[in-house]
Homo-oligomer: A and B are copies of this chain.
């Protein structure tokens, strides 16, 4: 796999859950279907649980389930739950002393913010029930 496989894994799993909502799935089942490792599945789906999109149950006959109506879960919810930063965050900014650098940063930040908002808006127009 490569970058952004978290979003793919998350949406792929949710897509299947929509088709058969009553079935409880173990990390091992999901991992086998997605061609990855159960721990990776727990890592990714754990984010979705924190965001209230999934629930998990420990112990025998435990596993993963949708936490709410799939019509209320949009692709944007999943994207935001994963905290993906497709764009440069600029977390390592060192207070640019150079005026050009400063002006540049303002311009680019504004564009990136707008484009990110556009992305989220587009993603929010599709629910996971629409994936079929």
Q: Give the residues in chain B near A104, CB-CB below 8 Å.
A: 8, 11-12, 15, 131
| Interface size class, chain A | 35 or more
Residue in B1, B4, B123 whose CB lies within 8 Å of A111? B123
> Is A4 a contact partner of B88 (Cβ separation < 8 A)?
yes
Residue in B108, B119, B126 whose CB lies within 8 Å of A107? B126
Interface residues of A in 104-122 (CB under 8 A from B): 104, 107-108, 111, 114-115, 118-119, 122
Chain A positions within 8 Å of B, measured between CB atoms, are: 1-4, 7-8, 11-12, 15-16, 19, 33, 75, 86-88, 92, 98-101, 103-104, 107-108, 111, 114-115, 118-119, 122-123, 126, 130-132
